[in-house]
Amino acid sequence: RTVYVNGAYLPEEDAKISIFDRSFIFGDGIYEVSAVIGGKLVDCEAHLARLERSCGEIRLALPWSKAELVAVHEELIKRNSLDEGGIYLQVSRGAADRDFAFPTDATPTLVMFTQERNMSSAPAAKTGIKVVSCPDLRWARRDIKSVNLLGPVLAKQFAAESGAQEAWLVEDGVVTEGASSTAWIVKGKTLISRPLSNKVLPGITRKAVLAYIGETDFTFEERTFTLDEALDAEEVFITSATSLVMPVVQIDGHTIHNGAPGPTAIRLREIYLDFAKKGGAL
């Protein structure tokens, strides 16, 4: 695999960053993941807009324009002949002797790599996935896509040990979101997902779904929901750049929609894939 580190395209075994890099020492960095489908970037501009916002919130000045970053994405797709999967981008405040406050002389580190993954015909989309719930142990600024991911790592490990593919994080009696996805429930033709705030990451796939449902007979109700309400819902699904729209067929051992993907999630996934082949809905 060819990866990108600070201006250079290198074989992955030759790519190196400093042990003093602040993303390594403090988790002082931001990341993004964009989907690639049919060799095309999906909603990449929206991911880069969120990157700029996240960096702004931690006062990390990005030395690269969006156009430059898109060009690196495209070069990596080309060099790796990537047809389906994702591109991971991480920017950190740079390398400096260990001290909590910002260094005055560090230059940001930029790392990017591709990951091959079956997107348009992911086997999990045919069977649906299982979810388990656990307490939301994360910090108060989840709207920032920071590389501090210990909360989600522990939640995903709990899911893996429970035979599930995603963990839903629960706080103050309501579902905040998945460990790495936006949570949705369906009632009739109504799609329900919670409002954006500091408590959740503003999902780009969520935004894409909202952008295209205007062309369908689905409506959107933006509100929080409890785990019990999800257990009772007609359908449940998650969205993310890696799973796109993914039906959920079980939560904490309770069967949802007879244990099979529901028509709403299937339809939304189809529409999403149609947009993705044209570069996205945003």
User: Contact residues for ligand PMP (CB under 6 A)?
Assistant: 33, 177, 180-182, 201, 203-206, 239-241
Using Cβ positions, the residue closest to ligand PMP within the complex turns out to be 205
Nearer to ligand PMP, 90 or 240 (CB): 240
Q: Check if 189 is active-site.
A: no
Shortest Cβ 28–ligand PMP spacing (Å):
18
Shortest Cβ 180–ligand PMP spacing (Å):
4
Which amino acid would we find at residue 14?
Answer: D
Shortest Cβ 19–ligand PMP spacing (Å):
26
Nearer to ligand PMP, 47 or 96 (CB): 47
Nearer to ligand PMP, 110 or 204 (CB): 204
- Going by C-beta distance under 8 Å and a sequence separation of 6 or more, which residues neighbour residue 197? 143
Neighbours of 231 (CB within 10 A): 17
Contact 132, 251 (CB under 8 A): yes
Nearer to ligand PMP, 80 or 182 (CB): 182
Shortest Cβ 112–ligand PMP spacing (Å):
16
Q: Which of 66, 126, 130, 145 is catalytic?
A: 145
Token pair, residue 173, equals 């009696």
Shortest Cβ 73–ligand PMP spacing (Å):
15
DSSP strand pairing (219-222 vs 235-240): unpaired
Nearer to ligand PMP, 95 or 204 (CB): 204
Catalytic residue IDs? 145
